[in-house]
């Protein structure tokens, strides 16, 4: 797919390269009401990899009754096995999930913690302290098996039940996840309420605690249209890994005010214009999201996808 491209005008001080951590197949599809066939999910992942995404989080080994959309995790990974050494991390909620992931032959896993008590109990059925204690053996066993482990911290910028979240509470949970062996910590704006000043303050709090930006990633939802602005602020603070979902898919089944993730296409458009290397072919990525939109039967929330596919033949494969 061809079309306009942004003029490249670099901003001094930004990273030369950014890792786009694609979460569309897992975080993007988990909230879909209608079941997406395993074959479609596998094709989605294949197209994302072909578009140059270096990391694609594909699924979660959560209980099927909790997130029915991801009940086919083992089948999906089996279908993707011929892809070889691609980075295809999966989310694991507990040791049982880790057992299933190990049996499926994964090389990277992630655990998902909450900063706030209310969301921890609603999403994980445990307190913050209990959930962190439960993750410790998961991270240890995964590390012993040679797996890379990522830690997610959710509700870092605000909670729909508790309101404002203290910076030191986020840093405390983040420190615990990193100390138990997580190689990277993704800071989640689960309901999309963050603003650039808040992002700068939180990253500054981590820096003051001795945690370098190269151990952090950011995960913004675009509920209030702030995701790109927040991402740019994170890049200015030294972060080099950004989570995004192709087509702006997503939400959280356990937090109704959480809407779509930052669209990967919108992120890549901005980074291309800033001269920041991602390795992603924007045209191929847009074509992938346009294809998935047709499969799901609704237009993509991504502004870049909409702009670059305006007037396209809806029957295109």
CA 213/CA 73 separation, integer angstroms:
32
- Own/partner contacts of 77-83, CB < 8 Å, gap of 24 or more, are 77/104, 77/105, 77/106, 78/104, 79/38, 79/39, 79/42, 80/42, 80/45, 80/46, 81/105, 83/45, 83/46, 83/49
Six-digit token string for 201: 């303050």
Q: Which of the 8 DSSP states describes residue 36? A: P
- Render each residue's pLDDT in the chain as its tens digit; 317 residues: 567 899 999 999 999 999 999 999 999 998 888 899 999 999 999 999 999 999 999 999 998 888 899 999 999 999 998 776 679 999 999 999 999 999 999 999 999 999 999 999 988 889 999 999 999 999 999 999 999 999 999 999 999 999 999 999 999 999 999 999 999 999 999 999 999 999 999 999 999 999 999 999 999 999 999 999 999 999 999 999 999 999 999 754 444 444 689 999 999 999 999 999 999 999 999 999 999 999 999 889 899 999 999 865 444 55
Which domains are present in the chain? 19-309 (3.20.20.70)
Residue whose structure tokens are 């295809």: 88
252 is annotated as an active-site residue: yes
Single pTM value for the model: 0.94
Give dist(CA 172, CA 155) in Å, integer. Answer: 13
**Pairing of the two strands 148-154 and 108-114:** parallel
- Which of the residues 111, 180, 239, 252 is marked catalytic? 252
**Dihedral of alpha carbons 87, 268, 30, 46, sign:** negative
* Element housing 241 (H / E): strand 241-244
């Amino acid at each position: 797919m061809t079309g306009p491209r942004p003029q490249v005008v670099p901003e001094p001080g930004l990273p030369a390269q950014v890792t786009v951590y694609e979460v569309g197949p897992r975080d993007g599809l988990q909230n879909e009401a209608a079941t997406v066939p395993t074959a479609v999910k596998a094709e989605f992942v294949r197209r994302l990899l072909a578009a140059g995404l270096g990391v694609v989080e594909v699924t979660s080994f959560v209980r099927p009754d909790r997130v029915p959309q991801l009940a086919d995790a083992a089948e999906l990974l089996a279908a993707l096995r011929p892809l070889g050494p691609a980075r295809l991390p999966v989310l694991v909620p507990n040791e049982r999930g880790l057992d299933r992931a190990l049996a499926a032959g994964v090389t990277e896993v992630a655990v998902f913690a909450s900063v706030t008590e209310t969301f921890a109990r609603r999403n994980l059925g445990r307190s913050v302290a209990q959930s962190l204690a439960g993750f410790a053996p998961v991270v240890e066993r995964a590390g012993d098996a040679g797996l890379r482990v990522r830690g997610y911290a959710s509700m870092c910028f605000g909670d729909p039940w508790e309101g404002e979240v203290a910076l030191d509470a986020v840093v405390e949970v983040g420190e615990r996840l990193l100390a138990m062996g997580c190689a990277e910590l993704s800071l989640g704006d689960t309901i999309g309420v963050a603003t650039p000043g808040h992002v700068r303050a939180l990253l500054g709090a981590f820096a003051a605690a001795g945690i370098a930006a190269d151990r952090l990633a950011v995960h913004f939802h675009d509920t209030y249209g702030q995701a790109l602005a927040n991402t740019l602020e994170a890049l200015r603070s030294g972060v080099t890994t950004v989570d995004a979902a192709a087509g702006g898919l997503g939400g959280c089944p356990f937090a109704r005010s959480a809407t779509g993730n930052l669209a990967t296409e919108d992120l890549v458009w901005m980074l291309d214009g800033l001269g920041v290397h991602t390795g992603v072919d924007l045209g191929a990525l847009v074509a992938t999201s346009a294809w998935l939109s047709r499969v799901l039967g609704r237009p993509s929330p991504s502004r870049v996808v909409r702009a670059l596919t305006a007037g396209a033949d809806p029957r295109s494969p």
